[in-house]
């Protein structure tokens, strides 16, 4: 089975309502913020990870919302061109998650002196956000266009 739908498959390609997808995207952003906030509190308070950029409220919350919005747009795009949008989206999300770890190998200047615990915390936040966002967006109900409808 091909991963992407062709022009002749347009009648059978699933589509997603914009309102429904936006609702799931908003919920994914909220869940990612809550999960990453919990990780932030636990790692700073219980484990003694030093607070500060990037482990402060502003960057953590923004870095939870921005990927959720981007993922929602990507999911909408993938749902329009793929017969199996959840599978295709999971592949794209896995690639993006992998790329999100590149700065850990070669840290930017503001993180060059950060202790290893900061990178472990950031990695946990990346994975937690990805699981929350992909898990929720993959549950968006799909509609299959009938012969008379356009997807």
Distance CA 72, CA 17 (A): 12
Domains in the chain, number: 1
Q: Considering the domain boundaries, does residue 84 fall inside one?
A: yes
Q: List CB contacts of 43: < 8 A, sequence separation 6 or more.
A: 49, 55, 117, 121, 124
Q: Considering the domain boundaries, does residue 2 fall inside one?
A: no
> What does the pLDDT look like over 83-119, one tens digit per residue?
899 999 999 999 999 999 999 888 888 888 888 888 9
Reduced to 3 DSSP states, what percent helix, strand and coil does the chain have, rounded to the nearest 5?
65, 5, 30
Confidence label for 9 from pLDDT (cuts 50, 70 and 90): very low
Confidence label for 36 from pLDDT (cuts 50, 70 and 90): very high
Q: Considering the domain boundaries, does residue 18 fall inside one?
A: yes
Q: Considering the domain boundaries, does residue 24 fall inside one?
A: yes
Confidence label for 46 from pLDDT (cuts 50, 70 and 90): confident
User: Helices (H), strands (E): how many in the chain?
Assistant: 5, 2
Q: Considering the domain boundaries, does residue 41 fall inside one?
A: yes
Q: Considering the domain boundaries, does residue 5 fall inside one?
A: no
Rounded to two decimals, what is the model's pTM?
Answer: 0.81
Q: Considering the domain boundaries, does residue 75 fall inside one?
A: yes
Distance CA 42, CA 39 (A): 5
CA-based R_g, the chain, Å: 18
Q: List CB contacts of 118: < 8 A, sequence separation 6 or more.
A: 49, 50, 54, 55, 111
Full domain range(s) for residue 95: 14-104+112-141
CA distances from 102 to 49, 83, 99, 127 (A): 21, 31, 5, 14
Which of 129, 136, 130 lies closest to 34 in space, CA to CA? 129
Q: Considering the domain boundaries, does residue 3 fall inside one?
A: no
């Amino acid at each position: 089975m091909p991963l992407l739908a062709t022009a002749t498959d347009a009648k059978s390609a699933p589509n997603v309502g914009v309102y429904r997808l936006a609702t799931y995207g908003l919920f994914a952003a909220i869940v990612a913020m809550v999960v990453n906030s919990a990780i932030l509190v636990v790692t700073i308070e219980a484990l003694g990870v030093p607070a500060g950029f990037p482990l402060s409220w502003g960057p953590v919350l923004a870095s939870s919302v921005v990927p959720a919005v981007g993922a929602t747009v990507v999911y909408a795009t993938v749902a329009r061109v793929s017969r199996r949008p959840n599978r295709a989206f999971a592949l794209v999300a896995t690639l993006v998650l992998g790329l999100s770890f590149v700065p850990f190998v070669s840290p930017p200047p503001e993180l060059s002196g950060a202790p290893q615990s900061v990178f472990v915390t950031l990695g946990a936040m990346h994975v937690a956000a990805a699981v929350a966002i992909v898990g929720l967006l993959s549950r968006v109900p799909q509609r299959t266009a009938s012969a008379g409808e356009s997807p």
